[in-house]
Amino acid sequence: MDIFIRVVLFYILFMCVIFIAQRTLIYFPDKSKPALIHGVEVVKLTTQDGQHLEAWYIPPTTENQLVIVLFHGNAGHYGHRINKVKDYLVAGYGVLLAEYRGYGGNSGAISEVGFYHDGRAYMNWLLKKKNVNIEKIIPYGESIGSGVAVQMATEYDVGGLVLEVPFSSLLDIASRQYPFMPVKYLLKDRYMNIEKIDKINAPLLILHGHKDQTIPFDSAEKLFEMAKYPKKLIDFPQGNHNNLYDFGASQYVLDFLAGIDERN
């Protein structure tokens, strides 16, 4: 009986530690501010809840061209994504490399709700400060950033939505990784994409690797099945969580953007 009680007490203590420290297991920010590079505009804004943020903006080469808002994944900072967007800049598209609170020199506590505040601030900055039409804005969500991009696409009538290695929900992924834990009752940040995707009317492109061991391919499939048309899912047979651009992901995105241009 003593052993049983000790095991139970240890399990309860372990659950308490996980509950308190869970965000350190989800988010891996690079808190340093990236060195400024030539040709970018430093975006400075304040969110609805009073958080001061900085990010980078590279405007489109022509008026009324599409603007991608990149919401990156859970690691690193926005400066690490500049190489990812080079093909889009060469093609003349605008890019806003959004940065979250707690990342890339920005202060603030990291959370799902906070990220949504950040996303709205960037969307509104484009709309009000740069006079970009909403149908010209394309949220691009990478991994956990898919949660922010999906949320923005439910709140704004955007021109399109790109999701790179997205999940159906963070709750789904956490439940798979920790099957012995009552994740349903412990998880604070859930990013329930699966409950929101059918509310989006914009064209959708999903990019996912079949060898992704961080977010399994079938999680993206679930999301795709629930989405409205027009939609497209690109399966990279050799792709994992971080290498889709090694297999030509940017060309699929460029083709998708060209299709939106034609419709507009």
Residue keyed to tokens 């499939």: 221
- Residue 44: other Cβ atoms inside 10 A: 10
The pLDDT, as a whole number, for residue 6 is 75
| Average pLDDT for the chain | 95
From the centroid of its chain, how far is CA 103?
14
Closest CA to 249 of 234, 238, 232, 262: 234
Residue keyed to tokens 């599409």: 66
Residue type at position 140: Y
The pLDDT, as a whole number, for residue 87 is 98
What pLDDT digit, counting tens, does each position of 109-149 carry? 999 999 999 999 999 999 999 999 999 999 999 999 999 99
Residue type at position 260: I
The pLDDT, as a whole number, for residue 180 is 81
The pLDDT, as a whole number, for residue 155 is 99
Percent residues over pLDDT 90 in the chain:
85
The pLDDT, as a whole number, for residue 3 is 80
- Give CA–CA dist 122/20, Å, rounded: 30
What pLDDT digit, counting tens, does each position of 213-262 carry? 999 999 999 999 999 999 999 999 999 999 999 999 999 999 999 999 88
Least confidently predicted of 50-59, 117-126, 149-158, 172-181:
172-181
What pLDDT digit, counting tens, does each position of 5-14 carry? 777 777 777 7
Q: Give the CA angle between residues 73, 112, 23 to the nearest 5°.
A: 75
The pLDDT, as a whole number, for residue 110 is 98
Instruction: Indicate the domain borders of the chain.
Output: 2-263
User: Which is higher by pLDDT, 198 or 2?
Assistant: 198
pLDDT of 1 strictly over 70: no
Secondary structure letter of residue 166 according to DSSP: -
Mean per-residue pLDDT, 187-194:
97
Which SS3 state, helix, strand or coil, does residue 44 take? strand
Percent residues over pLDDT 70 in the chain:
99
| Long-range Cβ contacts of 146-151 (<8 Å, 24+ apart) | 146/71, 146/191, 146/193, 147/112, 147/115, 147/191, 147/193, 148/71, 148/115, 148/116, 148/118, 148/119, 149/69, 149/71, 149/119, 150/191, 150/193, 150/196, 150/197, 150/200, 151/116, 151/119, 151/196
**28-29 and 75-76 as β-strands: parallel, antiparallel, unpaired?**
parallel
> Which fold, 2-263?
Rossmann fold (3.40.50)
pLDDT of 211 strictly over 90: yes
Closest CA to 123 of 109, 112, 134, 107: 134
Residue keyed to tokens 């099957």: 179
Which SS3 state, helix, strand or coil, does residue 253 take? helix
Residues 6+ apart with CB under 8 A from 170: 26, 144, 147, 187, 189, 190, 191
